[in-house]
């Protein structure tokens, strides 16, 4: 049995709402200081900083996960995580077909920087990232699954872009194994009010847009795999767990 301290919802400076100092190395460094074992980069509707993020994390012996926070056509935020960088890349190529092509105005919304693995700005995303895609909740879910990914509704307790406030209920379909709750709620209180969700895996992530907000070593997952497992086995174990297969 191993315990992994995690944070699966972090924005880099690619997200317009993320601070410019949310560089891949700063994120990895802060996660190290905080004692996290495994972290995901989840910029809005893009995985373009994930390759550099992987290198930054691997140098510090942190397990990186490629992810994104997808906005569905219903304006629901959904965290999507992928088993490998390649799966994430293939997903992102398809996701681009469903994104809205409205230009970013950095002076209003913020910068959308693409970085290399030493935090140099190597590009700028020109279209505003957080806008709703044309993928419905169900279509987005299916697209993630088809790329070996896992997805779950982000900050399900929140009014803005939370699945329950938008749909009025938690839907039976698609069948989510996990849901994310924001840090401000006590999961037990939330589940007492929403007993239909008691069978789900509850994840609490930071949704950090600034370095200080990255989670402390407080949320963890325990996997029934040997202590000496390597990062590949841990990642595989994690996805098995999140998909309900462990
Ligand atoms: Zn969100
Ligand atoms: Zn977010």
Taking only the tens place, the pLDDT of each residue in 161-177 is: 999 999 999 999 999 99
What is the Å distance from ligand 2's center to 10 Cα?
Answer: 7
Give the domains, in start order, of the chain with CATH numbers.
2-242 (3.20.20.140)
Judged by its nearest atom, the ligand closest to the C-alpha of residue 161 is 1
Helix (H, G, I), strand (E, B) or coil at 244: coil
Judged by its nearest atom, the ligand closest to the C-alpha of residue 68 is 2
Length of the chain: 246
| Gap between the Cα atoms of 11 and 26, Å rounded | 12
pLDDT at 89: 97
Predicted confidence (pLDDT) at residue 245 exceeds the cutoff of 70: no
Predicted confidence (pLDDT) at residue 223 exceeds the cutoff of 90: yes
Predicted confidence (pLDDT) at residue 31 exceeds the cutoff of 70: yes
CB of 5 within 8 A of CB of 219?
yes
What is the Å distance from ligand 1's center to 18 Cα?
Answer: 12
pTM here? 0.97
pLDDT category of residue 147 using cuts at 50, 70 and 90: very high
Span 34-60, average pLDDT: 98
What is the Å distance from ligand 2's center to 22 Cα?
Answer: 13
> Which percentage of the chain shows pLDDT scores above 70?
99
Q: What share of the chain is helix, strand, coil (3-state, %, to 5)?
A: 30, 25, 45
Which of 85, 95, 87, 27 shows the shortest CA–CA distance to 60? 27
Predicted confidence (pLDDT) at residue 120 exceeds the cutoff of 80: yes
Helix (H, G, I), strand (E, B) or coil at 130: coil
What is the Å distance from ligand 2's center to 122 Cα?
Answer: 23
pLDDT at 117: 98
What is the Å distance from ligand 2's center to 47 Cα?
Answer: 13
Classify the phi-psi angles of 35: left when phi > 0, otherwise alpha if psi is within -120 to 50, otherwise beta: left
pLDDT category of residue 241 using cuts at 50, 70 and 90: very high
N-terminal to C-terminal alpha carbon distance within the chain: 12
């Amino acid at each position: 049995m191993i315990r992994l301290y995690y944070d699966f919802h972090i924005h880099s400076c690619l997200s317009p709402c993320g601070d410019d100092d949310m560089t891949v190395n700063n994120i990895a460094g802060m996660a190290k200081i905080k004692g996290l074992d495994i972290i995901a980069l989840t910029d809005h509707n893009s995985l373009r900083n994930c390759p550099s993020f992987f290198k930054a994390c691997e140098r510090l012996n942190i397990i990186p996960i490629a992810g994104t926070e997808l906005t569905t056509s219903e304006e629901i935020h959904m965290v999507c995580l992928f088993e490998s960088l390649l799966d994430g890349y293939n997903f992102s190529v398809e996701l681009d077909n469903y994104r809205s092509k409205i230009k970013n105005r950095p002076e209003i919304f913020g910068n959308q920087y693409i970085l290399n693995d030493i935090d140099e700005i190597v590009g700028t995303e020109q279209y505003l990232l957080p806008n709703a895609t044309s993928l419905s909740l169900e279509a987005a879910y299916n697209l993630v699954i088809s790329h070996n990914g896992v997805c779950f509704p982000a900050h399900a307790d929140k009014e803005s872009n939370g699945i329950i406030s938008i749909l009025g209920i938690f839907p039976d379909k698609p069948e989510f194994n996990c849901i994310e709750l924001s840090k401000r709620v006590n999961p037990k209180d939330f589940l007492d009010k929403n007993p239909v969700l008691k069978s789900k895996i509850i994840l609490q992530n930071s949704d950090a847009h600034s370095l200080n907000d990255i989670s402390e070593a407080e949320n963890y997952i325990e996997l029934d795999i040997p202590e000496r497992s390597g990062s590949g086995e841990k990642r595989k174990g994690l996805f098995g767990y999140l998909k309900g297969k462990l």
